[in-house]
Every structure is written in structure tokens, then in C-alpha cells.
Amino acid sequence: MKDLSKIRLFEAIDLIKKQKLKSEELVRYHLELANTKGKDLNAFITVLDDSIEKAREVDQKIQEGKKVGLLAGIPCTVKDILMTKGIRTTAASKILKDFIAPYSATVVEKLEEEGAVIIGKTNCDPFAYGASGENSGFGPTLNPIDNTRVPGGSSSGAAASLAAGIGLFAIGTDTGGSVRQPASLCGLVGLKVTYGRNSRYGLIAMASSFDTPGILSHTVREAAFIEEIIAGKDSKDATTYDLPVENYFKKLNEIKNLDKVKVGVPKQYFEQGITQDVKQAVQKTITKMKKNGAEIIDVSLPILKQGISVYYILVPSEISSNMARYDGIRFGRKEEDNYMQNLLKTRSKYLEPEVKRRIMLGTYALSAGYADEYYKHASRVRVKITREIMELFKEVDILVGPTSPFVAFKLGEKSNDPLAMYLADVYTVNANIAGCPAISINCGYNKEGLPIGFQIMSEKFSEAKLLGIAANTEKIINES
């Protein structure tokens, strides 16, 4: 009998389609984990026990010889900020505690069309506001490697559940690193694609010009396979691009090694803030890339230092605008008949502290007398950062560095210092500012056995190249 804990995505697909493993058996196993280990980690807001019926339907179709999708019977999880029709969708905030989604996000629909079985909606920072998973209105998520530490955020439950062996892949969202950073802290692969490559339709908005649905997986090959399914133009989302989706999975094999790959290493990534163990692991990986044929090019991009400042002006500004709908009338929980009294009571009672903090920051940045000084100035710097990064990609194929300046930190360690918490995104935000694709892969562990992430970024819509280089880098790391 197969050890279900060791079965990964591609083996599961093969076994289910050959009728050597029933989807019902696999899904039941993962649901049991979600209800036990997942509960201990507080990784889920909603576990979908009735998803077992979908697994049975898949088994029936296969038994009858009917055509099934690429992900037929595969259990997965979805971050609770993505809408799922007829299922509670809370955005991990008390203000949406009882909200039932009237339709599904496009990326969710695409997964289900290919037969994927969603076993649960994962915990996250409320409305994706956070980098640790501690801000959720439903309590913090714990890191499965060390339960006294955070799993990263905002896709905390997605990362923690997958790292704990629950589900075969997870869908999260990445606004400033919210897929890559928790992937780094949990020892996983985290893929954030070009802005506009994946549809945002049905994603509860945080910052509309930054948000990107992303993937957490165990390997780069798995991420490439899933991305090929969820990518593409969506008539319901005007920000998606009408560009053909490449065969990312097949193209992984086209990059046989790292010969002639030009790897840019910004020196700004290794200055203040990075811990020694992370610095050593990342530099060791760069050395391995060089030994395997890559050309390492030291580059300087001083404006990268402005990225975190730009991000934390523009994103709260968009948050301030997007959160206006949560007034207890359009969305949220009604407390009073009087509109203004209801607005005050609903927001005071049900919005989490970090949500309130970011609304206030954004409202201030957009207020009369300050919009020119903050928001408009930050918008101009965003254009400059994007332009300079694009210029750099004329010289190099990829930019590499750490995903996070530190490994998973203790629960509560940074809770009383918002600035220190915001700096957790210092290496990831620039990919979102410029709209570029980026991926985090595990490149080692520190002395305490905590994983360290290695980030690779490439130019817009170069996912095939990014994934190919990442897969080769992953192989180099694992072989040594």
C-alpha cells in the first residue's frame, strides 16, 4: 500500500488516472490532516469536508472511461482571500466572518475545470495585510517546522499547510511578497508571476495595481505545471494581457544548464539588515550557479532601497480606497440603522488593528495637502524603479538575492514594531512595484534547521525563462 504522506503532485496524477489510487482515498487522507494537524497550526479558516464528494465524482468518471482534467482528483488549498462560490470567504477578517461568496475567482474556476479538489480555505493576514500571519482575525498561523515561530505572510496558512503535508499545492496571493516570503520561511517554492498574467477577478482586493495570484509548491516543476493552468487573458479582468500562455512545463527541459545565463547580483541586497546565515546561504548558491556555467555580474541599483518606502505609501493608499466598501451596508456587518453610526461601530468592532493602521496610513497619504508630497511622489519613484530594473534586464537575464533578510522569527517578536515587520518585505516588494515575475526556492537551512529562501527575478512575461533557470538552480542546490 502506498504511503500517502510521500505522494507528490505528479505521482498522484499518474496513480489516479491509472486507477492505482482513488482520489477519494487521497482526499480523505488530506482532509483528516487538515482537521488535525491543520487545526493545530491554525492553518485553515474553513475545511471543506464535503469535497470528498467531488473526489468520488472524479473516480467515477475515470472508472467510466470519461475524459478528466489535468488535475483530476488532486487535493489543494486556496487562500481565503480568493472567492469560492457558495463557500464562506472571509479574507481572514471578522468583518466578513459570515460572507458567502456568490461566485468563484477565475483562478479557482480554472483549477476546478481541470478537476482539482479544494479541501480548504487557508488562514492569512486580514485582507492580506501582513508579513507574518499573526494579524488574522481568526488567530495566528504557526510554522510547522517550529510552532513557536511565524510561517510568514500574508499567505501564512497556504504555506504552513503545504509544508505540513496538507494538500499537494496551494494558491496564495502576492502583493509585496506574500507568496515568496512565506515560501522562504517554510522551505517551499513560491511563484509570483508578471502582473496581469493571472486574473485578479474574484480576488478580494488589497492593492489593485500590485495584487497577483501565486502558487506555493514543493518544486519548481510543480509550480510551472500549475501556472500553465491558471494563467491567461480573462475578459472579466481588464488588467490581464492578451498574450499566449507558453508551455512552461515543457520549456523547463529546454534550459539544460546555466551556461551563458547572465546573473545579476545587486550589491544593495547584501548591505544592512540581512542576517549572516541568510547571506552565507545565498552567496553559496550564487557560487554554485557560477560553477555550473552562469556568468555572475555584480550590479548596483541604489534605487532599490526606495522600494520599501514607495510600497508602504502606494499600497496603503490603494487600501484606503478599496476598504471604503466595508461600511456595514455594501459589505460587512450591520450594527446600526444610521449610516454614519453604523460605519463607525462596524469598523471599530470588526476591523483588525493592522487593517485600521493601513487605512489610516493610506488616508493620510491621500489627504489634501499631502497627496502631492507622498502619493504622487511615490508614484513617480515607482516609475523610476520600474524603468531602472527594466534597463538592468538588458544586461542580465535574472536578478538574484535573498527572499527574506531573516529566517522565520518568533511569534510576537516583531508585533510591537510595525516598521521592523514591514522590512520583512524589503527584498520582495520591488518585483511587485515593477510588475516583474519572481520566484523563491529553498537554498538551505541555518543551524537551527530553519529554511532560507533564494529569490530569482526576471523581466516581464519571461516566466518560461525564469522557471527554467529556477529549476536548474533547484537541481544544483539539491545535488550538493
- Catalogue the active-site residues: 79, 154, 178
For 354, the enclosing helix (H) or strand (E) is helix 353-366
Cell of 59: 473516480
Could you tell me the CA-to-CA distances from 11 to 20, 23, 138, 165, 177 in Å, in that order? Answer: 11, 12, 34, 15, 30
Residue type at position 308: I
Residue type at position 144: P
Residue type at position 456: I
Per the document, the length of the chain is 480
Residue type at position 30: H
Could you tell me the CA-to-CA distances from 320 to 277, 338, 379, 425 in Å, in that order? Answer: 38, 22, 16, 20
Q: Contacts from 353-360 at CB under 8 Å and sequence distance 24+?
A: 353/135, 354/125, 354/126, 354/129, 354/130, 354/135, 355/93, 355/126, 355/127, 355/129, 355/135, 355/323, 357/418, 358/129, 358/315, 358/316, 358/319, 358/320, 359/316, 359/319, 359/320, 359/323
CA-to-CA distance for 86 and 96, rounded, in angstroms?
14
Residue ranges with strand state E in 193-260: 212-217
> How far does CA 39 lie from the centroid of its chain?
21
Cell of 470: 529556477
Could you tell me the CA-to-CA distances from 233 to 16, 242, 290, 439 in Å, in that order? Answer: 30, 5, 37, 21
Pairing of strands 438-445, 189-192: antiparallel
DSSP 8-state code for residue 190? E
- The widest CA-to-CA distance across the chain, in whole angstroms, is 69
Cβ–Cβ < 8 Å for 110, 237: no
Residue 10 three-state SS: helix
Of the candidates 143, 122, 157, 95, the residue with the CA atom closest to the CA atom of residue 355: 95
